[in-house]
């Protein structure tokens, strides 16, 4: 009786492992014993890191939200407490995307919950926020660009020109300029650099580090509608500095 062997199936198993080891260095990609150990170890790391990936992204979202709200004068904990108190159903992933790609919409979100933070009681004397009834869940948008339309709180309220089109001016500086009566490109163009430096200096060290030397000239181009010239110049600037 001929000897029965399982060479076809065993060879297929070995070929599967070697295919998974394709691209490994040295004997790891060609020698069965070494490749088997390397592939099995790699699968163990892949399983563990699929779990770690979730916590890593959550930490990244929290870091982005924290950086954005601190620029608005709040802390992460107060901001998230106000979000829950207002009944705003929005994931950290969505808020981090707004903070990174749609800063104007994120600023509008902060302004929406700022009243809850200011209306809270003193620390340790009771609840800080009044819990509101959560609204009905809204449909999930298909693209990140649709985030601007899922809720009216995400629609930035335009008052004058959008000064953030000037390189070097962000949401916090724009609000500071608005508080000092500079709301349009024409008003910014007519403001002396020394006056802008004084405004930034009075606002504290967080603002005084900015250099507004090019802001009036950028604003003059924007007020004249010379957007192509402004864009070409901004490509040569480094954060609004020459």
**19, pLDDT greater than 80:** yes
| pTM, two decimal places | 0.42
Transcribe 154-184 into DSSP letters. GSPPP-SS-GGGSTT--HHHHHHHHHTT--S
Specify the pLDDT at position 139.
60
Residue range 131-137: mean pLDDT, rounded: 52
Beta bridge partners of 241: 238
Specify the pLDDT at position 59.
95
H helix intervals, the chain: 7-20, 32-71, 76-85, 92-101, 103-118, 171-179, 185-189, 193-202, 205-208, 215-223, 227-236
Specify the pLDDT at position 147.
42
Specify the pLDDT at position 160.
66
What does the mean pLDDT of the chain come to? 81
Whole-number percent of the chain with pLDDT over 70: 81
Q: How far apart are CA 116 and CA 166, in angstroms?
A: 31
**149, pLDDT greater than 80:** no
**155, pLDDT greater than 60:** no
Specify the pLDDT at position 228.
85
pLDDT digits over 167-191, tens only? 888 888 888 888 888 888 888 888 8
**C-alpha 196 chain-centroid distance:** 28
Band the pLDDT of 119: cuts 50, 70, 90.
low
**141, pLDDT greater than 60:** no
**42, pLDDT greater than 80:** yes
**121, pLDDT greater than 60:** no
E-strand ranges in the chain read none
Band the pLDDT of 44: cuts 50, 70, 90.
very high
């Amino acid at each position: 009786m001929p000897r029965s062997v399982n060479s076809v199936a065993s060879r297929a198993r070995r070929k599967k492992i070697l295919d998974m080891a394709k691209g490994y260095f040295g004997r790891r990609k060609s020698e069965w014993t070494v490749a088997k150990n390397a592939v099995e170890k790699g699968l163990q790391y892949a399983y563990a890191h699929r779990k770690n990936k979730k916590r890593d992204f959550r930490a990244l979202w929290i870091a982005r939200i924290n950086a954005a709200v601190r620029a608005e004068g709040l802390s992460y904990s107060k901001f998230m407490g106000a979000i829950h108190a207002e009944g705003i159903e929005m994931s950290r992933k969505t808020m981090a995307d707004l903070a990174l790609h749609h800063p104007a919409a994120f600023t509008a979100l902060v302004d929406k919950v700022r009243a809850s933070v200011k209306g809270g009681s003193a620390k340790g004397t009771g609840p800080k926020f009044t819990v509101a009834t959560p609204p009905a869940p809204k449909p999930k948008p298909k693209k990140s660009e649709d985030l601007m339309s899922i809720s009216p709180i995400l629609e930035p309220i335009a008052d004058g020109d959008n000064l953030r089109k000037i390189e070097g001016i962000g949401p916090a500086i724009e609000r500071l300029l608005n508080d000092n009566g500079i709301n349009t490109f024409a008003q910014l163009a007519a403001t002396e650099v020394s006056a802008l430096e004084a405004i930034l200096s009075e606002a504290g060290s967080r603002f005084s580090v900015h250099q507004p030397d090019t802001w009036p000239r950028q604003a003059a181009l924007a007020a004249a509608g010379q957007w192509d010239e402004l864009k070409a110049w901004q490509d040569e600037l480094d954060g609004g500095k020459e």
